[in-house]
Amino acid sequence: MIGDDTARQAPFWERGWFWLLIAAVSTLPFVVSPLPMMPDYFTHTARYHIMSHGAQSPFLSRYFDFHWSLIGNLGVDLMMVPLGLVLPTEPAARLAAAVIPPLTVWGIQAVAKGAWGKVPPTALLALPFVWTFSFIYGFVNYHLGVALGLLVLALWMRLPALSAKWRYPLFAVLAMVVWIAHVAAWGGLLVMVGMWELTTQLRSADSPLKAMQTTVLRTLPLLLPLVFILLWRAASAGTADLFSYDWRLKMVWPFVVLKAENKVFDIACVGVLAGITAWLLISRRTTKDVRLLAMAAGLAGAYLAMPTMLFNSFFADERLLPVLAIVLVLSVAPLDRRQGMIVALVGLALFGVRLAAISVGWHQRAIAAQQDLGALDQVPKGSRIAALAVTTYCGSWQMRGFEHLASLAIIRRDAFTNTQWDTPGAQLMHPAYNKGRPFNELSSVTLGGGRAQCAGPSVVQSLAALPRDRFDYVWIFDQPEQRLPWLRQVFHGPDGRLYAIRR
């Protein structure tokens, strides 16, 4: 009876039903929108279609090359193998992406409970970081890896006394699972577990050196992916790996970590969450977990050291910020029940308002995108389409993704589009039709945005460079009508114009 009374008196943020509800609600934008308006998602989804159905299409097998290999960027791709057998590509991809927010919510709850023994109210301050800029942009493999990494971290916390006989094989396998989802998520997991373990060992070890030695020995199973990283990079030898470090962007990224629908509100959310967290950290009426604070410090160091572009992948450093924020807010817990209630309600309110805004914005933009996709009714199967658009991060605050939308022609018309990545070692699929020629991959889509940081040619320059004999259509987004004798407009949607190329 005493146990039942205690359970009934527990605040809502400690109850399992509440977190199940939050996990279900976190999928709302996927439920209400006709299309998941995540820019990179369209290009990923086309790759999944080629993976599942390319061999059966005489057009796709000619236009694209797909070969399986073990790389650290396969999270949703592997999920799509069974899903693609029972569902068409687009609903299967939507389902795979919609699983990520609930898994992240579960990871937040699990880490909070693993560190504190029960879920503190500050766990609700972490909820806005389920839907972040990098996830909305479409980094689905990475964010699946983050969710899995949080769950592995929570399991590590709960099994401190597990013998090496069981810990080594268990966490070696789990580390490989996270790495296969995404290499950067595995790197974050390694930092978090390493700092947690080091701080724990420092409490009981005779010396810092002994603590470091014990930490290395205990975390050895997490290092197994290093072997496969060396093999992966060796297989990519001879290809250009782009690195870029920009300290100015490191000062900008914290302000855009919650970029979604409204610039003022999204930046204000960052300010409110940062202010509350700072207040809790300096308050004497809160308790702090040194292990989580050390973990946050380790992630902050990794963020400062990480290049902006790593292995041809942009936003390499920015994507660490949501994990850093989650760990930091979980590192502190109010002692006062009333203070905890205020913190919980603020976190819940910010999460709810953001989720509602994203759902409305997605629905509105998806309706317009569906109308633009009506252009595909004019396109025969196997057509070759050149897309032109200003890249997403040079457009409005809302992520419209015009440079990726034409990728759906690959699914719906077995078409060739220049909207796929061609990054050896980072992707399993490569565009082959225009290999070695212009307008083969995604960079050829990009138009200049009229701003200094938005490099790219004008639409006139791009059209002048287009190899007309290699394409049947040109699909141009968010640009005025092009009046050229060799172009005939065959469709005009809210944002896109489809032109047939006259021979």
- Give residue 67's identity as a one-letter amino acid code: H
pLDDT at 10: 87
Interatomic CA distance for residues 28 and 101, integer angstroms: 10
Domain ranges in the chain are 13-98+363-503
For 115, residues 6+ apart whose C-beta sits below 8 A from its C-beta are 157, 289, 291, 292, 330
- Give the C-alpha separation, 425 to 313, whole Å: 11
Per DSSP, the three-state class of 480 is coil
pLDDT of residue 238: 52
Three-state SS for 15?
A: coil
Find out whether 149 and 193 touch, Cβ atoms under 8 Å. no
Beta bridge partners of residue 288, listed in sequence order? 332
401, HSE (Cβ side, Cα atoms, 13 Å) = 26
Q: Which residues of 178-205 are buried (b: 16+ CB within 10 A; e: fewer)?
A: bbbbbbbbbbbbbbbbbbbbbbbbbeeb
pLDDT in tens, 337-381: 899 999 999 999 999 999 999 999 999 999 999 999 999 999 999
What is the structure's pLDDT at 309?
Answer: 79
pLDDT value at residue 307: 87
Q: Reply yes or no on whether the pLDDT at 1 is more than 50.
A: no
Q: What average pLDDT does the segment 161-166 reach?
A: 86
Whether the per-residue pLDDT at 241 is higher than 60: the answer is: no
Is the CB of residue 113 less than 8 Å from the CB of residue 119?
yes
Residue 7 confidence class, pLDDT cut points 50, 70, 90: very low
Say how many C-beta atoms besides its own lie within 10 A of residue 84's C-beta: 19
What is the pTM (predicted TM-score) of this model?
0.95
Check if the beta carbon of residue 502 is closer than 8 Å to that of residue 485. yes
Confidence of residue 449 (pLDDT cuts 50, 70, 90): low
The identity of residue 224, as a single letter, is L
Buried b (16+ CB within 10 A) or exposed e, 31-50: eebebbbbbbbbbbbbbbbb
Bigger pLDDT: 456 vs 360: 360
Rg (CA), the chain: 24
Report the pLDDT value the prediction gives residue 165, as an integer from 0 to 100: 87
Residue 453: which pLDDT band, with cuts at 50, 70 and 90?
low
Digit-coded pLDDT (tens) for 265-316: 999 999 999 999 999 999 999 999 999 999 999 999 999 999 887 766 778 8
End-to-end CA distance of the chain: 84
